């Protein structure tokens, strides 16, 4: 299986860094081909701008979707975007490794989506959700939080984690055709003992070794 891991954390020694390296090592050892985008290390530009394109459709008014559609028709994406699109289209499974920041992905990862999930090439013209261009592929969110698990349930301090993840699961991943696996969530790793964190890494490794056997989840309305 081809696995594409998108990793968004500014500190390599973070627990996210540990989860990222675990996934790369375990999946390669299991015989899968792994490609990764370490967005901070790459200095990935998260800004949607004309720098995403080699081509120009409308020089007077920058409308991303118009430029994306044109670039899709003529092969006009800038190399940094085109390389990410190629990894996206190559993979069977995509994993996002990130810390929950303000109830969402870090801006660098959201900006990656803004630029890489382009109209024409990745979605649009009748190709959304079940008819999405990336159908047949699966996606897994692997994230960490600061808050404890008890804060992320219905009626809890922060509310149900499924509702918090819905904009990503439904609005980004399923929108372009991915099927979604149950998210891997580590609540408050900083509050845990070292031994507990090591056990979490081992359980994640165990899950990844058998990831091909998993079925997608339903994403509710909330
Ligand atoms: P780290 O602090 O890097 O690591 C935790 C511990 O694990 C450290 O002691 C580290 O040394 C240790 N460790 C690292 N690698 C390993 C390893 N391989 N094995 C064992 N131990 C290891 N939280 C929320 O709940 N909701 C929010 O909306 C939210 N918004 C935020 C917004 C911003 C801008 C920021 C900066 C934080 C926010 N947080 C929020 C908190 C954030 O989600 C957590 O700080 C983050 O998820 C913790 O993950 P980490 O990888 O950064 O942990």
Residue 165: give the domain boundaries. 2-213
Distance between Cα 20 and ligand 1 center (Å): 13
Residue nearest to atom 3 of ligand 1 (CA): 14
Residue nearest to atom 30 of ligand 1 (CA): 101
Secondary structure of residue 101 in the 3-state scheme: strand
Tell me the per-residue pLDDT of 123-165, one tens digit each, with 9 for 90 and over: 999 999 999 999 999 999 999 999 999 999 999 999 999 999 9
In this prediction the pTM is 0.98
- Cβ neighbours of residue 28 under 8 Å, at least 6 residues apart? 34
Does 177 map to a domain?
yes
Residue nearest to atom 12 of ligand 1 (CA): 15
Tell me the per-residue pLDDT of 90-118, one tens digit each, with 9 for 90 and over: 999 999 999 999 999 999 999 999 999 99
Query: Are 95 and 178 in contact, with CB atoms under 8 Å apart?
Result: no
Does 124 map to a domain?
yes
Distance between Cα 91 and ligand 1 center (Å): 28
CATH number of the domain encompassing residue 28: 3.40.50.360
Number of domains forming the structure of the chain: 1
Does 218 map to a domain?
no
Does 219 map to a domain?
no
């Amino acid at each position: 299986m081809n696995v594409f891991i998108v990793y968004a954390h500014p500190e390599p020694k973070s627990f996210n860094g540990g989860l990222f390296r675990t996934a790369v090592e375990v999946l390669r050892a299991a015989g899968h081909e792994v490609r990764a985008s370490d967005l901070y290390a790459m200095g990935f530009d998260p800004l949607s701008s004309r720098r995403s394109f080699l081509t120009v459709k409308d020089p007077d008014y920058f409308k991303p979707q118009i430029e994306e559609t044109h670039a899709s028709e003529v092969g006009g994406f800038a190399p940094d975007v085109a390389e990410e699109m190629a990894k996206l289209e190559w993979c069977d499974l995509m994993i996002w490794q990130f810390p929950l920041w303000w109830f969402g992905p870090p801006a660098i990862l959201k900006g990656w989506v803004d630029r890489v999930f382009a109209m024409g090439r990745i979605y649009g013209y009748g190709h959304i959700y079940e008819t999405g261009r990336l159908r047949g592929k699966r996606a897994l969110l692997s994230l960490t939080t600061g808050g404890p698990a008890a804060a992320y349930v219905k009626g809890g301090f922060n509310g149900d984690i499924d509702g918090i993840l819905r904009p990503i699961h439904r609005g980004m991943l399923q929108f372009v055709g991915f099927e979604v696996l149950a998210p891997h969530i580590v609540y408050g790793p900083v509050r845990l003992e070292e031994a507990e964190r090591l056990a979490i890494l081992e359980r994640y490794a165990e899950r990844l070794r058998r990831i091909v056997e998993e079925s997608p989840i339903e994403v509710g309305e909330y």
